[in-house]
């Protein structure tokens, strides 16, 4: 139903909501406690644990989802062993700016993110992130040996002549 990013985003918003709700209730209870003390009562501290627990739940919820969003994929991408894929076919190359608008660069630009779509020997297509240097040294339609690590294309060595997709 939701994408992984959508679920993480919803959980982050929920965590922020808990934090805001907890701080709001803490403020209201603090004012109520001050009024209670001003009127002579001294047992106003008992219920103030509830909003603080909401703040703690919100902080933990946000911390857990931030870890899921940044740290876990980073670790997973770097834990994958490098592998060489002979006979990889370059289907497409694409570059995107910070707003994820597709660009068609003719010269290297460090502000862009570069991707290459490869057709692997088994027929499966996969998209890989790559460095600017690798992006500009390969062309669409060439066959070669790709060195990949997770979703990163580190190197591509051309080994065959370009061919047409219908072949």
The more confidently predicted of residues 92 and 32 is: 92
**Rounded distance, CA 125 to CA 40, Å?**
74
Question: Could you count the other beta carbons within 10 Å of the beta carbon of residue 9?
Answer: 14
Backbone angles phi, psi at 40, to 5 degrees: 110, -5
Place of tokens 């290459």: 116
- Give the least confident one: 5-9, 121-125, 144-148, 149-153: 5-9
Question: Where residue 163 falls among pLDDT bands split at 50, 70, 90?
Answer: low
Q: How far is the C-alpha of 87 from the C-alpha of 90, rounded, in Å?
A: 10
Task: Over range 77-95, report the average pLDDT.
Answer: 84
Q: How far is 36 from 52, CA to CA, in rounded Å?
A: 19
- pLDDT value for 136: 92
Higher pLDDT: 73 or 155? It is 155
Q: Tell me: the pLDDT tens digits for 103-133?
A: 888 888 888 999 999 999 888 999 999 999 9
**Out of 12-16, 126-130, 154-158, least confident range:** 12-16
Q: According to the model, what pLDDT value does residue 166 have? A: 53
> Taking 80 as the threshold, does the pLDDT of residue 102 lie above it?
yes
Q: First CA to last CA across the chain, in angstroms?
A: 37
Cα 33 to Cα 120: distance, rounded to the nearest angstrom: 67
pTM for this model (two decimals): 0.52
Q: What is the pLDDT of residues 56-68, one digit of tens each?
A: 777 887 778 777 7
């Amino acid at each position: 139903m939701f994408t992984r990013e959508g679920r993480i985003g919803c959980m982050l918003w929920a965590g922020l909501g808990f934090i805001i709700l907890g701080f709001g209730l803490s403020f209201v209870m603090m004012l109520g406690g001050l009024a209670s003390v001003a009127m002579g009562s001294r047992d106003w501290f008992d219920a103030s644990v509830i909003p603080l627990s909401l703040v703690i739940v919100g902080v933990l919820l946000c911390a857990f989802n931030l870890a899921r969003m940044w740290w876990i994929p980073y670790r997973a991408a770097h834990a994958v062993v490098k592998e060489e894929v002979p006979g990889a076919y370059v289907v497409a190359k694409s570059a995107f700016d910070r707003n994820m608008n597709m660009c068609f660069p003719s010269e290297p630009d460090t502000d862009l993110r570069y991707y290459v779509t490869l057709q692997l020997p088994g027929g499966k297509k996969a998209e890989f992130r790559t460095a600017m240097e690798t992006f500009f040294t390969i062309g669409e339609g060439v066959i070669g040996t790709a060195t990949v690590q997770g979703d990163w294309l580190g190197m591509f060595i051309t080994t065959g002549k370009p061919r047409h997709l219908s072949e």
